[in-house]
């Protein structure tokens, strides 16, 4: 025997005869659907919490990556500026070294010119001495010439001595100047070596920073891969959430179609018409339970209990 739902809807206040087995089956099915609905809601809540946790993790990872990129860019810019400054200092020192080398070449050229002049003077002295030796044989006739020659020789000797003195002074001054230039060159070479050492250290530091940058780029790539995986997981969970939501809607629809009107003291009535006399709750906040203190009848050895309303909010039964 089945319930004539159309007749019940037309005359909800009229009593109808219903088989107890049908009511028990209907109650069992409704209880199963309510239990399934509760479990689905719990799963939906857990999934939503996991999604929120995953989104928070993604936001934290993205912030950390942005801060790491900013720190690396600042360090690289500072190192580039230091390298450019050292290159400018080295270029200036190289220019000073070139100027010093040019001055040394000029002084060496002047020294060679003076040496050539000294050689010419020595050759001239040798020539004059040869003339004196040749004139000694004609002393009587050539005494005047000899005196003149002696005077010339004395003058030449004075000139020669003066030239020798000038050459010695020039050589002494040139030696001092050359020594000073050599000292300056040595100092410049030492400074150049120091700067080259600093440049090598800076280049090594740049290489280390480059290696760190490559390592961090690898980490960034790994983080990007993890983010993509998390996004895929998030999409899958959203898809599962959508499926569960659709399933939940189907279950609620099926439950609303299968659940009959509640049986009260005045006959059949819907949940919306039942109101808790204590707190005023109604609708879904009111549930039906068996009142085992009131046995209506027996189906075989199975007792059929009356129904009572129970408020989900305050727990009052009526």
Q: Is residue 22 part of a domain?
A: no
End-to-end CA distance of the chain: 30
- Please provide the DSSP assignment of 123-187 as one string: HHHHHHHHHHHHHGGGTTTTHHHHHHHHHHHHHHHHHHHHHHHHHHHHHHHHHHHHHHHHHHHHH
Dihedral angle over CA of 209, 212, 217, 218, nearest 10: 160
146: pLDDT strictly greater than 70: no
Percent of the chain with pLDDT over 90: 4
Separation CA 169–CA 163 (nearest Å) = 10
Is the dihedral angle over the CA atoms 75, 79, 80, 82 positive or is it negative? positive
**Residue 215: inside a domain:** yes
**pTM of the entire predicted model:** 0.26
With cut-offs at 50, 70 and 90, classify the pLDDT of residue 57: confident
SS3 306: strand
Most trustworthy range by pLDDT among 20-24, 80-84, 132-136, 279-283: 279-283
- If DSSP states are collapsed to H, E and C, what string results for 86-117? HHHHHHHHHHHHHHHHHHHHHHHHHHHHHHHH
What is the token pair recorded at 277?
Answer: 């006399």
Assigned domain for 297 exists: no
Residue 10 maps to a domain:
no
Question: What's the whole-number mean pLDDT along residues 221-240?
Answer: 79
Read off the pLDDT of residues 244-284 as tens digits, 9 standing for 90 and up. 767 666 655 555 555 444 444 344 444 447 889 999 888 88
- Give 285 or 149, the one with higher predicted confidence: 285
For 48-68, what is the mean pLDDT?
85
For all residues of the chain together, what is the average pLDDT?
76
Is residue 193's pLDDT more than 60?
yes
What's the domain count of the chain? 1
Q: Is residue 299 part of a domain?
A: no
Segments forming the whole domain that contains residue 67: 60-235
In a domain, 160, yes or no: yes
- Domain CATH code at residue 138: 1.10.287
Does residue 144 lie in a domain region?
A: yes
Contacts of the segment 250-258: beta carbons below 8 A, 24+ positions apart: 251/33, 251/36, 251/37, 251/40, 252/37, 254/33, 255/30, 255/33, 255/34, 255/37, 258/26, 258/29, 258/30, 258/33
286-299 and 267-269: which strand pairing? unpaired
């Amino acid at each position: 025997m089945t319930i004539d739902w159309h007749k019940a809807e037309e005359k909800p206040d009229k009593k109808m005869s219903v088989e107890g087995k049908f009511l028990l089956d209907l109650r069992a099915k409704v209880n199963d659907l309510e239990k399934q609905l509760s479990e689905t809601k719990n799963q939906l809540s857990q999934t939503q919490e996991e999604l929120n946790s995953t989104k928070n993790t993604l936001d934290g990872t993205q912030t950390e990556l942005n801060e790491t990129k900013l720190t690396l860019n600042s360090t690289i810019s500072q190192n580039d500026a230091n390298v450019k400054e050292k290159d400018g200092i080295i270029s200036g020192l190289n220019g000073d070294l070139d100027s010093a080398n040019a001055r040394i070449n000029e002084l060496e050229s002047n020294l060679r010119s003076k040496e050539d002049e000294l050689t010419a003077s020595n050759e001239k002295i040798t020539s004059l001495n040869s003339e004196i030796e040749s004139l000694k044989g004609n002393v009587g006739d050539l005494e005047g010439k000899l005196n003149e020659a002696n005077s010339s020789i004395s003058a030449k000797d004075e000139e020669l001595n003066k030239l020798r003195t000038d050459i010695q002074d020039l050589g002494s001054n040139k030696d001092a100047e050359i020594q000073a230039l050599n000292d300056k060159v040595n100092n410049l070479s030492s400074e150049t070596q120091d700067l080259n050492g600093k440049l090598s250290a800076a280049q090594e530091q740049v290489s280390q920073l480059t290696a760190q940058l490559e390592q961090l780029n690898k980490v960034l790539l790994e983080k990007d891969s993890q983010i993509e995986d998390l996004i895929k997981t998030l999409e899958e969970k959203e898809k599962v959430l959508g499926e569960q939501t659709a399933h939940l809607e189907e279950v609620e629809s099926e439950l609303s179609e299968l659940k009959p009107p509640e049986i009260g003291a005045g006959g059949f009535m819907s949940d919306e018409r039942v109101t808790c006399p204590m707190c005023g709750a109604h609708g879904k906040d009111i549930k039906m339970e068996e009142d085992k203190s009131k046995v209506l009848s027996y189906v075989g050895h199975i007792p059929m209990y009356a129904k009572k309303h129970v408020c989900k909010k305050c727990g009052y039964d009526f």
